[in-house]
Amino acid sequence: MLAEILISVFLVISGIFGLVGSLGLIKLPDPMMRLHAPTKATTLGVGGALIASMLYFYFVVGTFSFHELMITLFLFLTAPITGHFVAKTHLHLSHKPDGLPPTGTERPWASYESDAERARIEAEADAEAGKTG
């Protein structure tokens, strides 16, 4: 009975979080805000569903499966990487370099640095390291 209540609570929480994540993708006004909803809320929702599934197979069916933990771990590892890449794409496509805050160094933001410029600065840094070391 207790296990049933626990599984049901996990299922309801996961459903609410999943719906909130997908709703946030529609409702939030700014592209950078819209990035928050799916990468955080939906990942938590799917994690809840997988934990509920693991509890169900342990308490009701009687077999322990660790596949869910693997999927949860994989999703929790890849969600920040996905969010980072989508944020970078948005920055690259819709912001101009002069509209951004200063980086505090001589180099521009990494997304706008050309390959030739990067190669030149890194070669200079290598030469500097070779001279002192």
Looking at the Cβ atoms of 110 and 129, the one nearer to other proteins is: 110
Q: Rounded to an integer, what distance in angstroms lies between the CA atom of residue 28 and that of residue 19?
A: 14
Which two structure tokens, joined as six digits, stand for 31? 């592209």
Is 40 among the residues that bind other proteins (CB under 8 A)?
no
Q: Rounded to an integer, what distance in angstroms lies between the CA atom of residue 45 and that of residue 37?
A: 11
Q: Binders of other proteins: how many residues, by CB under 8 A?
A: 54
Is 2 among the residues that bind other proteins (CB under 8 A)?
no
Is 61 among the residues that bind other proteins (CB under 8 A)?
yes
| Long-range contact set of residues 78-86: C-beta below 8 Å, sequence gap at least 24 | 79/39, 79/40, 79/43, 80/39, 82/39, 83/35, 83/39, 86/35
Residues that bind other proteins (CB under 8 A): 4-5, 7-9, 11-12, 14-16, 18-19, 21-23, 25-26, 31, 34-35, 38, 42-43, 45-46, 49-50, 52-53, 56-57, 60-61, 63, 65, 67-68, 70-71, 74-75, 78, 81-82, 85-90, 92-94, 111
